[in-house]
Amino acid sequence: MKKYALEIIGVGIGSVAGWLYWKYIGCTSGSCPITSNPLHSSLYGAGMGGLLFGMFKKENK
């Protein structure tokens, strides 16, 4: 669990950021596939957050 702590934090922050994006900026017409639905927006944000925070993990050699 400690090994993936940075990715887990990134997923949490990303999902909150995705939901906030849907809440304040998202697409109201429903034609946007990601930002028209809070679940899709949160999942997309979680994925991006996990990938972004995973870039900063140090590799052991």
Q: Residue 59: is its pLDDT beyond 80?
A: no
CA–CA distances in Å: residue 13 to residues 4, 21, 28, 30, 52: 14, 12, 23, 25, 11
**Per-domain residue ranges of the chain:** 2-54
Q: What is the pLDDT of residue 39?
A: 94
Q: What is the reported pTM?
A: 0.84
The structure tokens listed for 21 are 């994006």
Helix (H) or strand (E) holding 61: none
**CB of 40 closer than 8 Å to CB of 9:** no
Q: Residue 49: is its pLDDT beyond 90?
A: yes
